[in-house]
Structure 1
Amino acid sequence: MSSSPDRPDDRPDERLADLEADLLALGESLAVPAPPPSGVARAVRARLEREASPDGRGREAVPGSGPGADPGRADRNRWGILRRLRPSPRRVAAGVAVVLAVLLGATPQGRAAVASVLRFAGVEIHVGEPGPLPTGVPRPLPGERRVTLDEARASVRFPVAVPTALPEPADVRVADGGRVVTLLWPGIRLDEYDGTLGVVFRKELGEPWPEEQPQIRGWWIQRPHGVSYVPSNGVPREERVAGPTLIWQRHAVGLRLEGPDRARALRIAASVR
């Protein structure tokens, strides 16, 4: 005996209704004033149905369903269309992600959650009320030792780059078992580290936001701020005061350049080889 094509677990209308109910519940829990979550859900549902239609205009007419048509052929065509209308898990997940972004952006709590933390190139930046700047003499990084540039390159697992816009570094340090290399010039500090393994530095900023620098795909922090080193165990050390800083990533290496003004910092960053 053949099974019916209209199995309860494969009915697209029921799945879309479940999605709409979930989105309504999510919207109510976030207390979004506008747009109404039900409207958003209906828009998502309409989008899914349009994408499933061959002409992009919604549900298509079922071929072979007119007067005098073969009932069996109409059933087969209807089942094929329903299978195309059924939202795949990937499509449903994409729809939910879009709705979540809309709902988060529509609430002050959502905007604060998105705007308060930026993680980029091994640096975690917190924007808020940082309090007074740290005082006292900054301590060296864990296990920091003075080396030559060649020794630094032999001590770490990432390529150590040097900016051609500056002379040879006046001082080179390796810290935390080869986790960080620091190049020093008078008034300038360049930290290099593997920017893909996790947070290496943490910064506490007041407003304004760091400014994106698309020419090097980096971020510029224009004011003095607190910075702390985050060892591999994840517990930040005490803060120190950092001057204006440029943060960017070159291949897998994270770099933070501290000291020069923005124009000079960008020239230095562009010359890193």
Structure 2
Amino acid sequence: MNLDDELRALGRSAVVPPVDPELTAAVLARVADVPARRRLRDRWRAFLAGLCVLLAGLALTPPVRATVAEWLRIGGVEAHPVGTGPSTAPPVPGVSGNLSLEEAARVAGFTPARPVVLGAPAGVEASQGFVAMSWDGVRLEQFQSAVEPFYWKKYYSELEYVPTVDGYWFSTPHELLLVDKRVVRIAGPTLVWERSGITYRLEVADKARAIQLATGTS
């Protein structure tokens, strides 16, 4: 099979969400103004132009962004869907360390943020590029978003895009793995977002509360 046939097969098998009709009309109007050319180079140009317009339209749609997050990174977290997963998760684990936020900043190499409304955390621990802190029923982890992901998440339910923080809500229990694929634990509902080169993982049972805490994190 040559490249031309492979592209046709790929086009027949691709599944994409509906495109904005106005966007489609605009593209077709532009194409209609271009004289027909049968040379392979010009067909390639038309194909690539249409593909770029399609991808640009998809990138603006939040549901599509959630679908893309199934196989792309969310800051320092990479998410991978699986067929089945854990049905329950243990309570949100606390952090046993007793560092001050100033000490944690020195160890981690960056100034950690916290949900202001929760006050001082009950526990704080840190390592290079990483800080974890907890309150009753709430755990916040934050780490520098590097070239390689820090965590992998294996989940079996759809991700929900949260525009308020430009992040994603994992609504069901899921496996939390380190980048070397070692299972850390089963995690419960979690909100994940990135800001200024820092990735945040906020574990708390209620989505509305998670969003409220995330927007008040500074």
**Fold in common (TM above 0.5):** yes
Residue of structure 1 in register with 2:134 after alignment: 184
Counterpart contact for 2:174–2:187, Cα < 8 Å: yes
Counterpart contact for 2:88–2:173, Cα < 8 Å: no
Q: What do residues 176-207 of structure 1 show as CA deviations (whole Å, max 9, x unaligned)?
A: xx131001112211000012432111111112
Q: What is the alpha-carbon distance in structure 1 between the residues aligned to residue 115 and residue 215 of structure 2? A: 8
1:131 to partner: Cα distance: 4.1
Residue of structure 1 in register with 2:206 after alignment: 261
Residue of structure 2 in register with 1:195 after alignment: 145
Counterpart contact for 1:247–1:254, Cα < 8 Å: yes
Matched, 1:27 2:7: yes
Residue of structure 2 in register with 1:108 after alignment: none
Q: What do residues 181-236 of structure 1 show as CA deviations (whole Å, max 9, x unaligned)?
A: 001112211000012432111111112x0100001101011111111222xxxx12
Identical columns (%) = 31
Q: For the pair shown, which has the larger CA radius of gyration, 1 or 2?
A: 1
Given candidates 99, 106, 117, the residue that maps to 1:147 is: 99
> What are structure 2's unaligned runs of at least 5 residues?
15-26, 36-40, 56-66
Counterpart AA for 2:185:
R
Count the aligned residue pairs. 189
Given candidates 31, 34, 41, the residue that maps to 1:58 is: 34
Higher strand share: 2
Structure number with higher relative contact order (C-alpha < 8 Å, ≥ 6 residues apart): 2
Matched, 1:119 2:73: yes
Matched, 1:213 2:189: no
1:160 to partner: Cα distance: 1.2
| Matches for 1:1-273 after TM superposition, within 5 Å | 22=3, 24-30=4-10, 32=12, 57-59=33-35, 94-95=48-49, 97-98=51-52, 116-132=70-86, 146-175=98-127, 178-207=128-157, 209-230=158-179, 235-273=180-218
1:152 to partner: Cα distance: 0.9
> What are structure 1's unaligned runs of at least 5 residues?
1-20, 35-46, 60-85, 102-112
1:255 to partner: Cα distance: 0.1
Q: What is the alpha-carbon distance in structure 1 between the residues aligned to residue 166 and residue 89 of structure 2? A: 32
Return the TM-score normalized by structure 1.
0.57
Counterpart contact for 1:133–1:226, Cα < 8 Å: no
SS for the counterpart of 2:34 is coil
Counterpart AA for 2:191:
L
Worse overlay, 155-164 or 209-218: 155-164
Counterpart AA for 1:150:
E
Q: What do residues 135-184 of structure 1 show as CA deviations (whole Å, max 9, x unaligned)?
A: 99xx999xx96522101111223331121121111111113xx1310011
